[in-house]
Homo-oligomer: A and B are copies of this chain.
């Protein structure tokens, strides 16, 4: 038998996951990826796949878990860098966009998964977004910026914020990362969206009925 490469434990597993991400990054849709294709990209024999995943959906689910880590890292950085409240939106959107560029394939995978073909992956991503929104609500409450809102309305506002940012993600994934002009347009537009939402939140109570 041909020689066996030395490997660290779990190396192939990672190679397979990042191979799938690479293919997604090249413009493929996750739902259209096949086992052989992924193993080929990973430089591994097809049957190795089954040592780590039951099928492609399983791999997708584990990618969602890793996506959670990426998002948490991003949140941590945002919390550390957003000190004064006046530039809160600009800073946060900037950090979001730079993370989205740095982990382009991951965020591409996330954007795809929202309307993907595996219900489990959909739910996973949706759950990450819900967590994100609730953390955002926590932060806003801590900063006392919107303390006139009841819990439900604060949650709704954060939900809308997260959705708007997620939709901007789709825009961002549609342009080349080097096209700085387009990226800047998306950044500005996203900021304006969030400003509009927060203006709405600031004047919300009288409309609450």
- Complex Cα gap A116–B203 (Å): 38
- Complex Cα gap A201–B111 (Å): 28
* A191: min CB distance to chain B, Å: 11
Q: Does A29 contact B (CB under 8 A)?
A: yes
Which residues of A are interface residues toward B (Cβ below 8 A)?
27-29, 31-32, 108, 111-112, 114-117, 119, 122, 126, 156-157, 159-160, 163-164, 166-167, 170, 173-174, 189, 192-193, 195-204, 207
Please judge, given known A-B contacts A31-B31, A117-B27, A193-B156, whether A198 and B199 are in contact too, CB under 8 Å: no
Pick the contact of A195: B122, B126, B174, B207 (CB < 8 A). B207
Please judge, given known A-B contacts A29-B31, A32-B29, whether A196 and B160 are in contact too, CB under 8 Å: yes
Residue of B nearest to A156 (CB): B192
- Complex Cα gap A26–B199 (Å): 41
- Complex Cα gap A157–B122 (Å): 28
Contacting residues, chain B, for A207 (C-beta < 8 A) = 195, 199
* A104: min CB distance to chain B, Å: 13
* A133: min CB distance to chain B, Å: 12
Contacting residues, chain B, for A112 (C-beta < 8 A) = 115-116
| B193 and A199 within 8 A (CB) | no
Contacting residues, chain B, for A166 (C-beta < 8 A) = 167
Pick the contact of A203: B115, B170, B199 (CB < 8 A). B199
* A114: min CB distance to chain B, Å: 6
Residue of B nearest to A111 (CB): B115
Contacting residues, chain B, for A203 (C-beta < 8 A) = 199-200, 202-203
| A196 and B193 within 8 A (CB) | no
Q: List 25 A-B contacts (CB under 8 A).
A: A27-B119, A29-B32, A29-B115, A29-B116, A29-B117, A31-B32, A32-B32, A112-B115, A115-B115, A115-B170, A115-B173, A156-B189, A156-B192, A156-B193, A156-B196, A160-B164, A160-B193, A163-B163, A163-B167, A163-B193, A164-B164, A196-B201, A196-B204, A198-B200, A200-B203
